[in-house]
Amino acid sequence: MNANSLVSIADLSKEEILHILEQARYFEENPNHKILDGKVVATLFFEPSTRTRLSFETAANRLGARVIGFSDASTTSSSKGETLKDTIIMVSNYVDLIIMRHYLEGAALYATEVTETPIINAGDGSNQHPSQTMLDLYSIYKTQGHLDNLTITMVGDLKYGRTVHSLLMAMRFFNPTFNFVACNELRMPDEYMEFCDRHGIKYNVSTDFSPEIINTSDIIYMTRVQRERFTDIMEYERVKDLYSLNNAMLSDSRDNLKILHPLPRVNEIAYDVDDNPKAYYFQQAQNGLYARQALICNALGIDILKTQKD
């Protein structure tokens, strides 16, 4: 296993997280650095993506790397029965870094066990999405000025939403208070509440997206109900429209409140929120580019801040 791989956000210390955020800020201010000339990056997406794949590929391009890969596994030899192991070993022969998304939880960890090429997990099933978390942290830091002592309300699909699982774990260093707002079917899994208990993280569980919760939040993190994870489509139909945020609901919210969403959205944020200055989800996605430039460098053992000092 390559020590620079990023499989879970839990792999990163507080110092490492803060250092990556500093590098993201550097890349926001200095976007084009051809420091990866001659390197090849693979993006292997076994699940659909817009933001993650395109921002990783743009990040690699801005750093001067070449990108190969696929966005539709049905066009690859995995459709002929090639295993994930063989695919990873083969691609490792060609590239310096593999960025992969897979529908199976643990797929990225498994990939690190069959290759010495660094792996970045771009989402594995309902488990983890660590690069999303870095852009979420960067967005929170930019909008709040710090990461400490914030009240963060997570709403929607807390069962299958890998972004909320990763973000919750990363926030353990910053003394947050969480509100977990979801219906019983999609409540935050016990293992993550136990994680909060172990790390002394305060949290409230509610099925009601109440004015009191909205008006005491610094961050509201809306999520899509993940239709692709349901085995029973009738259950999806029952729960898909339970939580939706509209502009009127924000009338008494805190001045510093920002609305985040990993996107794509379906109907959990009404379009009338988009023009509210508290809506931040499109800028959040843009921040992904800078965070992912930092993560690619990190995975290749390059510290852009140190490089600039030398």
The binding site for ligand CP (CB under 6 A) comprises: 49-52, 123, 132, 262-264
Furthest CA-CA distance within the chain: 59
Query: What are the contacts of 115-119 at 24+ separation with CB within 8 A?
Result: 115/2, 115/88, 115/89, 116/1, 116/2, 116/92, 117/2, 117/91, 117/92, 118/2, 118/4, 118/5, 118/299, 118/300, 119/2, 119/5, 119/6, 119/7, 119/88, 119/299
Known catalytic residue at 51: yes
Runs of H (alpha helix) within 224-271: 233-239
Known catalytic residue at 187: no
Min. distance of Cβ 48 from ligand CP in angstroms? 7
Q: Name the residue nearer to ligand CP (CB basis): 193 or 279.
A: 279
Known catalytic residue at 75: no
Burial state string for 3-16 with b = 16 or more CB within 10 A and e = fewer than 16 = ebbbbbbeebeeee
- Catalytic residue (choose from 80, 146, 198, 309): 80
What does DSSP assign to residue 2? -
Q: Name the residue nearer to ligand CP (CB basis): 142 or 193.
A: 142
Known catalytic residue at 129: yes
- Catalytic residue (choose from 25, 39, 51, 159): 51
Min. distance of Cβ 161 from ligand CP in angstroms? 10
Min. distance of Cβ 131 from ligand CP in angstroms? 8
Min. distance of Cβ 258 from ligand CP in angstroms? 16
Q: Name the residue nearer to ligand CP (CB basis): 123 or 176.
A: 123
Known catalytic residue at 159: no
Q: Name the residue nearer to ligand CP (CB basis): 176 or 262.
A: 262
What is the radius of gyration, based on Cα positions, of the chain? 19
- Catalytic residue (choose from 25, 39, 52, 87): 52
- Catalytically active residues, by annotation: 51-52, 80, 101, 129
